[in-house]
Chains A and B, each alone.
Chain A
Amino acid sequence: MKKIPKTILFEIHDSPNGKKNPQLLRVILNEEHTRIDFGYHTYPLYINGGWIKIAPETFIEEKETKKRYLLTKALNIPVSPDKLHFESQKDWQFFSLYFEPLPQINCTINVIEDENPTRDDFNYYDIELLMQDGVRVKEALIY
């Protein structure tokens, strides 16, 4: 019988390093991948809300060991050089990034799109994942 991987979900209520857009919302760990959910909303700085994309080099870094977990899939956000162009300054986008699987142990991670970030890059630091704070997902009904 095929073993069903255990999936642990963390809701992140306080945005890491105060970055509000995109908001890092949830981290979901299982044996096949690590998924991070984000929410982005457009704002008046850009015409028609501008655009978003994600760099293919984006990775998760385990803070203590410096081990990197690479991006494997992006859902609802194009991988650079493609872009998602918004239609208005009031649009929003929910998207998920999939990475190589993190171990299911207590750890602190950084999500790095660019190691020399500008204001527009999606870098997040010091996301603490304590297993006791996670909840198990009912895999049979998984999204």
Chain B
Amino acid sequence: MGVKNYAQQRYKVIDNLLTNSMRRYPTMEDIIEKCEERIDRRPSFETIQKDIATMKLSPPDGFYAPIKFNASQRGYEYTDPDFSIDKIGLNDHDIESLKEAIDLIKSIGGARVSTKFSHAVEKILSSYKERFPKSDYSRTIVQTDTPPTSRGFEHFDLFFKACKDRIPVSMVHYSYNNRRFKPLTIHPMILKEFDNKWYVVGYSEFHDSLRTFGVDRIYAPQPIFKEFIKAQSSEIDTYLNDTYGVYPLDNEKKQIIKIAASALATNYLEAYPIHESQHLEKHQRGNSTITFDLVPSMELISYFMSYGNEIRVIKPSWIASLIQEKTQVI
């Protein structure tokens, strides 16, 4: 535990003693003994004197604590009997910082921020609104892509808890491709967002492997009592970090993917790399050759296709052929 944490604990002990109306005016010895009893460390006389001085300071260093030594009672007291450091609310600086952070979270999180969090924030700010009549809390400074709430998003909290507490979940999954429902038990490990869509990644008992499920295709998830099956962390890393998107192609391993990008596509890929393995070699005309070390995914292929003629896959040839086939179908 850090020195600062011990100091915080001593402040609490001092505050408890000074607010104890049954035994008023604690002496220096009382404070030292109580600190020793509560935090297992006996502070020195000088330490407590320093603590009291700090508590008297203005925030953020102190608490503006009205501590005084009462000579006639030979002990310490709060001159304001209603004072307690527990009653200290957020100061102006704290509130401004909190508001900025909340604005930012709302901007980047939008509808994706849990409703429970939103309610908690509202509760905190409600008591401070009168102190900030000119608040520009509702003015948007940062705007991100925040789509309307999607189907299945109501399960977000359940899966968040299941991932956090490692609880297996029985659910019904509908496959858009096969047009089939399937009851499945999954051991959820992570919630992942990609392209404004939410996915649950976990071990699927039916598939006997790590799988990704779009929350929009999940019905009636039920947490169940069952031993949680945890995937190997190396497996999860490969699954999550070595893939662009969420659906790695079956039976494909991490491999070098090489593309030729026009000058226009190069500008975008240079500004917004799509994966940390991306390596870009720029040529004289502004075009480039770009390599990725990735497990091929449907999202990667769609991404290349979205650039039309501006991107050409050089390697592996099967991705080039697949894109050609798909382009012809469209």
Give A contacts to B, CB under 8 Å.
9, 11-13, 23, 25-26, 28, 37, 39, 41, 90, 92, 94, 96, 135-138, 141-143
Contacts and interface: CB of A to CB of B under 8 A. Distances in A.
A92 to B, nearest CB: 6
Contacts of A143: 158, 220-222
Interface of B: 158, 161-162, 167, 170, 172, 174, 179-185, 206, 219-226
A138 B168 CA distance: 10
B224 A94 contact: no
Main secondary structure of the interface of A (DSSP, over half): strand
B183 A12 contact: yes
Contact of B170 (A11, A41, A92, A94): A11
Q: Which of A92, A137, A142 neighbours the largest number of chain B CB atoms within 10 Å of its CB? A: A92
Given A11-B170, A37-B172, A39-B174, A26 B183 contact: yes
Contacts of A94: 172, 174, 181, 219-220
24 contacts: A9-B170, A9-B224, A12-B183, A13-B183, A13-B206, A25-B181, A25-B183, A37-B172, A39-B172, A39-B180, A39-B181, A39-B219, A90-B179, A92-B181, A94-B181, A96-B220, A135-B185, A135-B225, A136-B224, A137-B170, A138-B167, A138-B222, A138-B224, A141-B223
Main secondary structure of the interface of B (DSSP, over half): strand
B98 to A, nearest CB: 30
B203 to A, nearest CB: 15
Given A26-B183, A94-B172, A142 B219 contact: no
A135 B180 CA distance: 23
CB-CB nearest 9 A-B residue pairs? A39-B181, A11-B183, A138-B223, A94-B219, A136-B225, A141-B223, A135-B224, A25-B183, A143-B220
Contacts of B162: 141
B185 A11 contact: yes
